[in-house]
Chains A and B, each alone.
Chain A
Amino acid sequence: MTCNKTIAVIFLLFTVIDVSCERKQTTQIKDEQDVVQLTYWCASNQDEINLAKELVNEWNAGYPKIQVVLQPVPASQSSEEALLAAIAGKTTPDVWSNMWPGAMDDFTSSGGLVRLDQFPDFIEYMQKRMPGELLESFRSSDSHYYQIPWKTNPIMVMYNKKMFREAGIARPPRTYSEYLVAAEKITKDTNGDGRIDRWMGYRDIRPIWWQRLFDYYPLYIAASGGMTLFNGSEIAFANEASVKVFQFFNELYRHGYYPLTTFQGDAFLAEQVATQFTGPWNVIHVENFKIPGFEYGISPIPVPDDYNGPVYTYGDHKNISIFSTTKYPEAAWQFAKFLISARADLRLLEICSQIPLRKNLTVDSLYRKYFQENPMMMQFAEQALYTRGVDGSSVLKEIFDAISQEYEICAVYNKRTPQEAIANAAKRAQIIIEWNRK
């Protein structure tokens, strides 16, 4: 009678215990004395995962007392979501190497990050690595450091040399007008089926806020001679430079030089588009997947016709941080130093083709061979000194979202003039800041 009931209950208990046992076993290994275990999260793209695996293996072999476990961040539209979920549940890693400066404000104001200048050798070590004034730009508003500047990816133009040559374009365009003239020569129907199948370039037309980091934002930084969205805590982007950038993209879409579509594969490699705004990480990708006979070059992004001076661009900086949930901040700092050591920087170049923030990168003998073999990367390395990041505002994403929507209406769909669009964007940004006042 009660036998059946008991059996059912016991069966259930077994299942529950069994499943949770699996978890207990793994934690037991962790708790062995003497060995410190750190979790390290790297970005989710394949190259950085490969780099991380190599560096972690090398570290673990050399430091048996400090073992590091690597976990790639699951990708979503932005890895911020995965990180937010982790912070909500205090399941953050010890070391995180995909820290975006734009997220600083949020993390630091909640005490989520370890204050790095508490380590006695931090300042000295960093100053040996990079120029002092660049280091200063990563100081947080409370004048402490919470991020270790690691790498940058300056956005430049990658262009198809063969397509340029065939269209009669002598050199890569420097100004908006030159770019538009080149676009007109490139965009055409090559196989006579009545449909254009070659374009000057392509941008994702979906109004996703971070896409603007690869079109509007770099061109705005260049056109304004190095300004960012904010000046202190005031909105500063409602100016002529922004209007010119919107105007430029508007013309590109209006004339059909950029197609109104979403490509799933890589249009640049398929020679469907002649240029793309991209960073050095793409060099290795292009090298791996290009078809025979594919020639490409790098040039700075275009600027308005009346602009003179050095060309700045967006730097897509990614830094390393240590979360304050760590039980071993000292060990984490040791590991972080290893991640930015000279040899690790070389591997960053070789495996991921991304630029480490290191002074004398282009003249140091350790890297000479690499740059000789990869002249493209030289150009990126030189551009790296003329980059700007994003402001550390906590409403940055929402403001970019507002700009993104105006960009979509004005540039992609031509339903609003650039002046109106920028004015609107500025108004919305103001409201956003208002709504999020403390």
Chain B
Amino acid sequence: MKAGSSAIKINNKTGYLMSLPYIFYFCLFIGFPLIFSFILIFHKWNIVTPMQWVGLRNFYRLFHDVQFFISIRNTLIFLVIHIPLQIIIALFLAVLLNQKIKFKGFFRALYFLPVVVSGVVVTILWQQLFAYETGLLNLLLNKLGITKIPWLTDSRWAMPSIAIMATWKNVGLYIVLFLVGLQSIPHYLYEAAEIDGARSHQQFFHITLPALNNTMVLVMILSTIGGFSLFIEPFVMTGGGPMNSTLSAMLYIYNQAFYFGHMGYAATLGFFFALIILIVVLIQKKIVERKD
């Protein structure tokens, strides 16, 4: 969408001058690291010893690396749980907030609180909530007479637990986005539907949801890109356990690079993973564009 102007002037000099900061920045802080990373793929390097050319050995190793594929699977599991959960809760609360009630601002601010707080604080906090024997959540369940849940100590619960924590942290942002979308839906659509005899859930599915399509797309893409970089939570809380169930792709790459010193192999994994992210995002785009 170009701002209309009958005479499109070519403004080369000023254009380049003003873009110079970015070009400079790109070459230094993005271009060089990318190229260096690419070179690393064909080498073995642990920083301490000099780089060693190994050709395609890293690729061969990648295709035989069961743990890496497990980590990708885990990341996808995280996304599959986290994104729908986030959308449903955010949408639900946003719809509630959109009604004619008082204290909207207060609630909205409250739900948004975890978003601004540092991830470190959230992780430290939730470790206290999730602990099996002494954690607050299980204490609460105990008081209600329900058996304790092995939040972080059972391989079927661990990743869902992290997904819950991530949802808690981010849902406020998405509530706000949905609210904006909801508020832009013209009232007369609902009024017309009332007159036609449509019930509220029918109104929801036929008016509200379609009108929120753009917001939905935005929410999905943001959650996906954020979800793929899942790292600090499993890093601090579970170390990848139990039994590799919370080993996210980024955590695995980090381990390879910083624990075991396989810089070249980690670079290979990184590129491969970036490729997967690209594919998933493209698929999402295709699905969404078709809906339109």
Contact = CB atoms under 8 A, between A and B. Distances in A.
Interface string B218-250: 000000000000000001001111111000000
A87 B48 contact: yes
B259 A261 contact: no
Interface in B233-273: 235, 238-244, 255, 258-261
Interface string B47-89: 1111010000000010000000000000000000000000000
A398 B61 CA distance: 15
Contacts of B52: 438
B153 interface: yes
B242 A263 contact: no
Nearest to B238: A206
A84 B258 contact: yes
A415 B261 contact: no
A35 interface: no
Interface stretch (A127-135, A242-250, A307-315, A401-409): A401-409
A438 B44 CA distance: 9
Contacts of B142: 193-195
Nearest to A259: B133
Interface stretch (A107-115, A327-335, A348-356): A107-115
A259 B132 CA distance: 9
Interface in B176-207: none
B241 A261 contact: no
A262 B243 contact: no
A412 interface: yes
Nearest to A89: B47
Contact of A397 (B50, B239, B260): B260
Which bucket holds chain A's interface residue count?
35 or more
Contact of B50 (A110, A194, A413): A110
Interface residues of B, number: 34
B118 interface: no
A78 B259 contact: yes
A112 B48 contact: yes
Contact of B243 (A107, A264, A394, A408): A408
A363 interface: no
A289 interface: no
A307 to B, nearest CB: 31
Contacts of B244: 207, 405
B46 to A, nearest CB: 6
A401 B260 CA distance: 9
A435 interface: yes
B211 interface: no
Interface in B139-153: 142, 148, 150, 152-153
Contacts of A412: 242
Given A259-B132, A262-B127, A207 B240 contact: yes
A260 B132 contact: yes
A62 to B, nearest CB: 34
A110 B255 CA distance: 22
A311 B113 CA distance: 55
Interface string A386-422: 0000000011011001000100110011010000000
A88 B47 contact: yes
Nearest to A12: B21
B133 to A, nearest CB: 4
B128 interface: yes
A58 interface: no
Interface in A70-119: 77-78, 80-81, 84, 87-88, 106-107, 109-110, 112
A208 B241 CA distance: 9
Contact of B153 (A84, A260, A397): A260
B99 interface: no
Contact of B133 (A106, A110, A261, A405): A261
B48 A195 contact: no
Contacts of A87: 47-48
Contacts of A436: 44
A122 B44 CA distance: 35
Contacts of A296: none
B131 interface: yes
Contacts of A435: 61
A207 to B, nearest CB: 5
B134 interface: yes
A179 interface: no
A398 B266 CA distance: 14
Given A205-B241, A207-B240, A413-B242, A263 B258 contact: no
8 contacts: A84-B261, A194-B142, A196-B133, A261-B131, A263-B134, A264-B131, A398-B260, A405-B243
Given A77-B235, A262-B132, 7 more contacts: A106-B261, A109-B49, A194-B142, A207-B239, A260-B150, A264-B127, A412-B242
